[in-house]
Amino acid sequence: MSMTLRIKRVPTVVSNYQKDEAEEGARRVGGCGRNCLNQCCIPGAKLPLYAFKKLNVNDGDTGLLGHEKREPPVPFLDSLLLGEWEDRMQRGLFRYDVTACETKVIPGQFGFIAQLNEGRHLKKRPTEFRVDKVLQPFDCSKFNFTKVGQEEVLFQFEASEDGEVQFFPSAPIDVESSPSVVAINVSPIEYGHVLLIPRILERLPQRIDRESFLLALHMAAEAGNPYFRLGYNSLGAFATINHLHFQAYYLAVTFPIEKAPTKKIATLNAEVKVAELLNYPVRGLVFEGGNTLQDLSNTVSDACICLQENNIPYNVLISDSGKRIFLMPQCYAEKQALGEVRAEILDTQVNPAVWEISGHMVLKRKKDYDEASDENAWKLLAEVSLSEERFQEVNALIFEGIASGDNGNENLLEDPEVKPRSHEEVNTINKRVHCSAVNEQICRLFTM
């Protein structure tokens, strides 16, 4: 007998136009009344447009066909993204001043980063979220990013049509092509916290596809700064808005996950190297290399698509200007819904999404900030991780998914430690992975 797994949490307010569902309905009856990105306001609207050059090699120093990369007409990170973000801060569009939040590196082996952010969860009541379904249909009746005000959008972000970087301070919004945009998060975790929303007018649900993931890597490459990272949370892994988006911000410190040792397990046909995290509380895979940026992007997006289609929640960190990507399947929300997370950890109200998993702990209580330690951070993150057995089973699914995404060609070349599975073996693993939550007593992966 199946059951639906749900948890209650305070949703993150990412836009000043994000309201409770009752208020949303009332406003729809009365009309828009604001400069949004829906059909009521978008005709004739203009926004800045940054058109990036597609890279044919996975190297931030060279561009198309190996030619030297020219200086962009406007520095992407410093002048455009962070400059426009600071402009919105001066205009009072954020719910609080994140630059005033206390932050420290926790003494110890791992260098976890703790931030005290008491304003991020205030003035909102807990909302129930379903956590056992990674793929859910888009629901126009709920908040989505077409409802944000145009003043919250920093610029459009698109591939250049002529192969050169271009910047237009005021460009029409092409409704037919559905532009990708960068908008502020009004409840920022750090300086420069923004949202990348691919093809915003298509109203895509929160699920990775090849085109959108490549766009995120291009944004990381365009920023060209290892301290500017992008992150992704699937549904069931603490994404609360079912409208496709990535998050990004600037923090000038190395994340603990970036310093963790790794063990290489495979090299793929396009020279994408895959490693496994070692001595870190959350088990995960690390992808890097590739002959082109698209090779790396396709490999990771195929892995994400595999997890989605097998209903496995996950988080992604895009690091090192898009050259290194961390993929972490997780089970915290599932365990929380099943009552398996200890009360003292639940009391912290920390929702371990991509930033927390990467080692940037956003704490809501002064007590937890004052008592922050390597041990406490490890205890929390250990609850997120799959067991070793389940992780290896999920890895087998991932490698099968990557091989399928590569048109079924043999994908593993150098000393792979994850052996390709037969179709029958994959089906068996898939069934075992998914019966853990719903039919725990019959088939529990953690205690096989």
Radius of gyration of the chain (CA): 21
* pLDDT number for residue 124: 53
Q: How many CB atoms lie within 10 A of CB 123?
A: 8
- Average of pLDDT values for 293-320? 97
User: Crossing angle for the helix pair 210-223 and 293-309, nearest 10 degrees?
Assistant: 130
- Average of pLDDT values for 305-310? 96
* pLDDT number for residue 184: 97
Query: Between β-strands 262-267 and 360-363, what pairing exists: parallel, antiparallel or unpaired?
Result: unpaired
- Average of pLDDT values for 250-275? 96
- Average of pLDDT values for 309-315? 96
Q: What percent of the chain has pLDDT over 90?
A: 66
The CATH label, of 3.30.428.70, 3.40.50.2000, 3.40.190.10, 3.20.20.140, for the domain at 46-55+75-405 is 3.30.428.70
280 falls in which pLDDT band (50, 70, 90)?
very high
- Alpha-carbon separation of residue 106 from 369, 382, 394 (angstroms): 10, 17, 32
Instruction: Considering only residues 217 and 346, tell me which one the structure prediction assigns the higher pLDDT.
Output: 217
Tally of residues, the chain: 448
Lowest mean pLDDT among 1-10, 132-141, 197-206, 287-296: 1-10
| Top-confidence range, 39-48, 372-381, 427-436 | 372-381
127 falls in which pLDDT band (50, 70, 90)?
low
* pLDDT number for residue 277: 98
Are 79 and 188 within 8 A, CB to CB?
Answer: no
pLDDT of residue 434 exceeding 50: no
Are 299 and 290 within 8 A, CB to CB?
Answer: yes
Alpha carbon 283 to chain centroid distance? 17
129 falls in which pLDDT band (50, 70, 90)?
low
The Cα 199–Cα 178 span in angstroms is: 5
Q: Which tens digit of pLDDT belongs to each residue from 382-426? A: 999 999 999 999 999 999 999 987 654 444 444 455 444 444 554
- Where residue 49 falls (left for φ over 0; alpha for ψ -120 to 50; beta otherwise) is beta
191 falls in which pLDDT band (50, 70, 90)?
very high
| Average model confidence (pLDDT) across the chain | 84
* pLDDT number for residue 437: 37
Check 218, 245, 360, 423 and give the catalytic one. Answer: 245
pLDDT of residue 329 exceeding 70: yes
The verdict on whether 245 is a catalytic residue reads yes
334 falls in which pLDDT band (50, 70, 90)?
confident
- Average of pLDDT values for 56-70? 49
- Average of pLDDT values for 300-320? 97
* pLDDT number for residue 447: 31
* pLDDT number for residue 29: 41
Q: What percent of the chain has pLDDT over 70?
A: 79
pLDDT of residue 139 exceeding 90: yes
Per-residue DSSP letter, 405: H
The three-class DSSP label of residue 241 is coil
- What b/e string do you get for 27-47 counting C-beta neighbours within 10 Å, with b at 16 or more? eeeeeeebebbeeebbeeeeb
* pLDDT number for residue 333: 86
pLDDT of residue 85 exceeding 80: yes
- Average of pLDDT values for 91-116? 95
* pLDDT number for residue 118: 84
The Cα 181–Cα 204 span in angstroms is: 13
* pLDDT number for residue 405: 79
- Average of pLDDT values for 32-38? 81
**Ordered alpha helix ranges (H), 156-277:** 210-223, 256-259
* pLDDT number for residue 161: 87
pTM of the model: 0.86
- Average of pLDDT values for 280-288? 98
122 falls in which pLDDT band (50, 70, 90)?
low
Structure tokens at 384: 């997120």
Query: Between β-strands 103-105 and 113-116, what pairing exists: parallel, antiparallel or unpaired?
Result: antiparallel
Are 305 and 401 within 8 A, CB to CB?
Answer: yes
* pLDDT number for residue 442: 27
> 98: Cβ–Cβ under 8 A, 6 or more apart, which residues?
117, 188, 189, 190, 191, 193
> 239: Cβ–Cβ under 8 A, 6 or more apart, which residues?
206, 233, 353
Lowest mean pLDDT among 274-278, 282-286, 316-320, 343-347: 343-347
pLDDT of residue 60 exceeding 50: no
CA 198, 202, 203, 207 dihedral sign is negative
Instruction: Considering only residues 413 and 121, tell me which one the structure prediction assigns the higher pLDDT.
Output: 121
Domain extents in the chain? 46-55+75-405
